[in-house]
A and B are shown apart, each in its own frame.
Chain A
Amino acid sequence: MTDESALLREPWIDFGRQLEAGKFGIWVFLASETLFFGALLLTYTVCRIEHPDAFAAAGRETNVWYGTINTAVLLTSSLTMAVAAQAAKESARLRRVVLAGLMITAMLGLAFIVIKGFEYKEDLDKHLVPGAGFALPQPGAQLFYGFYWLVTGVHAIHLSIGIALVSRLIWVLYRRELPAKDNPEIEVTALYWHLVDIVWIFLYPLIYLPGRAS
């Protein structure tokens, strides 16, 4: 009971309603994010239909190992985030599990950014930035890499926001400013984190897998 009164915010008179409203709000936001990334993926698809061979050649130039390892890193971060969020709902005794789960999640998020940094360095060395001096002869390949830089950059911004949100949660929970049990902020942050993972799940076959079989 004391936990709920510490978490209750204006304008809600009841904690159950606050929890529902928070979940509803984040899902509406995630639906809008789905459309935002969906529009980018649609642009990619239309360009790929127009330039199938150039997209296969461009896809072959990406480093499939960086991409696969980073996908595994993000999937694992979703695991630790799910455990943290479920532990928070389960029992107040699991506060340490929540904290540990959030810490590993934030570290895996950082690991993703670091690996992506190494990959960007390699892409720059291979002259894979569209414009003068681009490595591949096909014009369509520049469209692929235009998409690549834009969408991986936007994804990295989303992930960085996620890391900041998770770090903030660790801070307030560690200092016991807020209880972990039934904390809506953990639930909402976890849902956002999983969406950033899902975006990457779709980017993986579109960026790293074209042209591997040919």
Chain B
Amino acid sequence: MSGRGASNDIRRLWVRNLIIWAALLLLLLLSLVAAYIPMGRITTASGIVIAGAKSTLVVLLFMELSSAKPLIRLAAISGLVFLIAMFALTFADVLARP
């Protein structure tokens, strides 16, 4: 009986994670195809936006941040906040040059 319980647990674990994995591979394929379509800056942006979507899936579901406690979420978000500050301050200079 415990054997059947364990195999159900195993199936549930794999199915849940395989769906996320399939979505990740689909996004990878999408970014590869989009890179060959000439859309100017949108082509570049699509690659970065898709990378953002992929990492959101990994962070929320594989790293389980979606069900983490507030302290853990704050620690994770602190890196992102300082990253945004670093990019924003740099772009304020680089993009405003004549």
A contact residues vs B (CB 8 Å cutoff): 20, 23-24, 27-28, 30-35, 38-39, 42, 45-46, 49, 64, 68, 71-72, 75-76, 78-79, 81-83, 86-87, 90-91, 93-94, 97, 190-191, 194, 197-198, 201-202, 204-206, 209-210, 212-214
Contact = CB atoms under 8 A, between A and B. Distances in A.
Given A35-B82, A198-B59, A213-B37, A30 B76 contact: yes
B32 A93 contact: no
Contact of A194 (B38, B63, B72): B63
Nearest to B37: A213
B38 A214 contact: yes
A194 B62 contact: yes
Cβ-closest 6 pairs across A and B? A31-B79, A205-B47, A34-B79, A209-B35, A27-B75, A213-B38
Q: B interface, how many residues as a size bin? A: 35 or more
Contact of A97 (B13, B32, B68): B13
Interface string B18-55: 10110011001001100111110001100110110011
Contacts of B86: 35, 38-39, 42
Contacts of B62: 78-79, 81-82, 194
